[in-house]
Amino acid sequence: MSRPNPASGVPSGVLLVDKAPDMTSHDVVAIARRSLGTRKIGHCGTLDPMATGLLMLVIERATKIQDLLMSEDKEYDGTLTLGAATSTQDRQGEVTEEKEVPAFSAEDIDGAFGEFTGNFEQIPPMVSAIKKDGVPLYKLARKGQEVKRDPRPVEVTKYEVSRIELPEVDFTVHCSKGFYVRTYAHDIGAKLGCGAHLSALRRVRSGRFVLDRAVSVDTLKNGAREDLFKSMVSLAEISLMRGA
């Protein structure tokens, strides 16, 4: 464990949390601040309330490597539902278009996923945190506004379709930073011609960090402070993991 900050008694490092559904990433940070006894906490990569899985909390001096950790590739397990496009590109939005889902074969589905591999561009969704004239897009979206967004380069290094029970399709995707899985689902639906939205999402990896060492939100909320400190990944271990 990293040496505690003499002022706070809190060690520096990364605490991996398995985020529960129906809570924001900021909710997790707020719980961690109370449980660990420090305000110097940030998170690496927002997970939407609908999403679950790996949320990395940087604590004390680890906040200095937040951008570095956020820049690494990620892996997600997801489910898309064909036949309905939504305003947010996920199941929490309003349905904007519905179409009948043809009897797609596994080859049809795989072919659509295959169109979005390697390097390509995505148009960020209106519900993203990207700012337009200093205002996050999601705040504009809440007011019913839609503005032009510039495409952004992203990369998918690997994908796997694991279940097809139409209209649902389960998949795993390995992707670069700045990748929007909801947009991925939306675009695959558009490619298939019937529309789609993201109906489930779980982050299972970020860089070399996986869920194996993650604590639950319940443990974060109710666990002993010293036990939470012991669960943290130290700065020294992070350096070794990254080959520094």
Residues in CB range of 136: below 8 A, 6 or more apart: 128, 129, 130
Contact between residue 43 and residue 16 where contact means Cβ atoms under 8 Å apart: no
CA 91 distance to own-chain centroid: 15
**By three-state DSSP, how is residue 171 classified?**
strand
Q: State the virtual CA torsion across 35, 37, 38, 41 in degrees, nearest 10.
A: -10
Give the H or E element holding residue 28: helix 25-36
Give the H or E element holding residue 216: strand 215-216
Give the CA distances from residue 72 to residues 119, 130, 145, 225, in Å, rounded to whole numbers and listed in that order: 16, 18, 32, 29
Catalytic residues: 48
Which amino acid, residue 242? R
Burial class (CB in 10 A: 0-12, 13-18, 19+), 103: exposed
